[in-house]
């Protein structure tokens, strides 16, 4: 599908590293002009320069400016996310709200800002980086699981409203991906469960996955590249698991 996205503009949030960087690179390889949106402006600028794209240094937790935003992107990838692991009774309310703001409210506002342009062109792709936790729950992740379930609902409503305008909306639902976010989770899980970090993958993270390894960012990016293509024009309102068999249980 090389060059299949020529003439399209893509915006990837959390695009300077991990899954976001892999997705941005894949979309750029396929011809899209990519905007790297990230809290780390320097990292966003560096990757944008490598891909011949643009950088947008933005704090998506500051949602007020997003309410009046207008985006001219054809492909919107909602990828930015954070994690916190703690029992519900110990979960700080502000930390819970922070995760909902970044992973539900901000995607809603970005979709809201992008749809008028997509509708005007009669073509658009909204790709939401959800998780197996958008379909399944795990203990100690109340805020993250809640946010990902909400993102699933938002994606489906976007699919229904956008269908007549040539806009699709889908979720990608990976298991644990080899990213800095997951590496931080390993440390948090070790503290929560009272085990060593070396034991976390075997005894906590990969217990539900039939394929006993982490998902690679490039694998997620490959699926995102397909969902952005014309080949996926009839795919909307869907949730694509890439979880090594976790959700098959």
Concatenated DSSP letters of 78-131: E---------GGG--HHHHHHHHIIIIIHHHHHHHHHHHHHHHHT-EEEEEE--
Give yes or no: 240 in active site.
no
pLDDT in tens, 2-26: 569 999 999 999 999 999 999 999 9
Task: Give the pTM.
Answer: 0.94
pLDDT in tens, 71-84: 999 999 999 999 99
State the helix-helix crossing angle for 106-121 and 142-162, rounded to 10 degrees: 20
Mean pLDDT of 233-244: 98
pLDDT in tens, 163-206: 999 999 999 999 999 998 788 778 887 888 899 887 888 888 88
- In this prediction, residue 1 carries a pLDDT of 46
Q: In whole angstroms, what is the distance from residue 162 CA to residue 117 CA?
A: 12
Catalytic residue among 119, 144, 176, 240: 144
- In this prediction, residue 2 carries a pLDDT of 54
Contact 11, 75 (CB under 8 A): yes
* Sign for the pseudo-dihedral over CA of 202, 203, 204, 208: positive
Q: In whole angstroms, what is the distance from residue 120 CA to residue 123 CA?
A: 8
Report the chain's mean pLDDT, rounded to a whole number. 95
């Amino acid at each position: 599908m090389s060059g299949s996205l020529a003439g399209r503009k893509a915006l990837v949030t959390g695009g300077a590293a991990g899954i976001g960087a892999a997705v941005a690179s894949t979309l750029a390889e396929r011809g899209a002009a990519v905007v790297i949106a990230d809290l780390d402006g320097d990292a966003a600028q560096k990757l944008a320069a490598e891909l011949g794209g643009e950088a947008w240094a933005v704090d998506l937790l500051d949602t007020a400016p997003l309410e009046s935003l207008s985006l001219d992107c054809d492909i919107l990838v909602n990828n930015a996310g954070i994690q916190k692991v703690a029992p519900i009774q110990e979960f700080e309310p502000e930390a819970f709200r922070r995760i909902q703001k970044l992973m539900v409210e901000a995607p809603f506002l970005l979709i809201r800002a992008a749809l008028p342009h997509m509708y005007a062109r009669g073509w658009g792709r909204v790709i939401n980086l959800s998780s197996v936790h958008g379909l399944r729950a795990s203990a100690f992740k109340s805020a993250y699981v809640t946010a990902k379930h909400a993102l699933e609902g938002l994606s489906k409503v976007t699919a229904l409203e956008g269908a007549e305008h040539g806009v699709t909306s889908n979720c990608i639902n990976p298991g644990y991906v080899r990213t800095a976010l997951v590496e931080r989770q390993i440390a948090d899980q070790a503290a929560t469960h009272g085990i060593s970090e070396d034991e976390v993958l075997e005894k906590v993270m990969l217990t539900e996955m039939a394929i006993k390894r982490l998902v690679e960012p490039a694998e997620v990016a490959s699926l995102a590249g397909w969902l952005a293509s014309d080949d996926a024009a009839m795919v909307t309102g869907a949730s694509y698991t890439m979880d090594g068999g976790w959700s098959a249980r």
